[in-house]
Chains A and B, each alone.
Chain A
Amino acid sequence: MPQISAPITVPDTEKEQKPKSKSRPDRGYLVICWNDPVNLMDYVTHVFQTVFGWPKAKAEKHMLQVHQNGKSLLVRETFEKAEHYVHQLQSYGLNATMEREE
């Protein structure tokens, strides 16, 4: 499995539109899916649709990011939600992790 050490970058499409406030929970955890040569592209798309409820086009876009760029930032979330998503993705055998946003 390729080890990718490039810094984590956040795509524009995933950025928060609203200004941050003190009352908002800390959504500083990134759920990232990493490329591997074993999970099938159709399967990865299906898992993204199932876990996040995304339409197929969005799921495919992230699947292709994983395939072509080595990783894809899936969501930015609170600790608890990020952990939940990582558990879900890993239950399907995907190589997904949660990383603290720097």
Chain B
Amino acid sequence: MKFVPGPNKDAPEPVLIYRINSAEESLLLAMLRLYPVLENSYHRISRDPKAAASAEQRLLEESMAQQRVAHKKKVEALFHTPQRFFKEALGERHLVLTAAQLEWLLQVLNDVRVGSWVRLGCPDLEKTAPLNVSRASARSLQAMHICGQFQLALLEAVK
């Protein structure tokens, strides 16, 4: 997937266009089907152990839960009306996003990435020690890396 720079004068609002092939499109949709992966309890309002049972902690978890419900609806809308996002132009397949759609797509992909990392046991990926990968954990590892690649491709538009 690659960002296509340049103004898009025909669009009713500014949009970001990415060239995407059919394999990438299938892979992106497969990643979005995994959403949500991260548990609401992952989020911590403070490192103070006393905050774990606080009203603020509860509010944060409720807020994250509400956001996941809202994002899930957006993901489902993408599956129900893919033509809103994927378009043919000049013999190419394009992923077309508004700035707001870019933001929620980044959040959704990062949820899958971080959630997959948590399922792997939060390994320190910067260390050189090889991971013990089972068939199940291989899926999490793949999802983590694929989401990361899509995130980097999406971020090309805002660099």
Contact = CB atoms under 8 A, between A and B. Distances in A.
Interface of A: 1-2, 34, 36-40, 42-43, 46, 49-50, 83, 86-87, 90-93, 97-100
23 contacts: A34-B47, A37-B126, A38-B114, A38-B117, A38-B122, A40-B152, A42-B155, A43-B110, A43-B151, A43-B152, A46-B155, A49-B158, A50-B103, A83-B59, A86-B60, A87-B63, A90-B43, A91-B64, A91-B107, A92-B106, A97-B44, A97-B46, A100-B48
Interface of B: 38, 43-48, 56, 59-60, 63-64, 67, 103, 106-107, 110-111, 113-114, 117, 122-126, 144, 148, 151-152, 155, 158-159
Contact of B148 (A1, A40, A46, A99): A40
A99 B47 CA distance: 7
A49 B155 CA distance: 12
B67 A91 contact: yes
Contacts of A1: 122
Given A46-B155, A91-B107, A98-B46, 8 more contacts: A40-B151, A46-B158, A86-B45, A90-B64, A93-B113, A93-B114, A97-B44, A99-B48
A99 B56 CA distance: 12
Nearest to A79: B56
B32 to A, nearest CB: 15
B107 A92 contact: yes
A2 B106 contact: no
Contacts, number: 67
A80 B122 CA distance: 31
A14 B56 CA distance: 25
Contacts of A83: 45, 56, 59
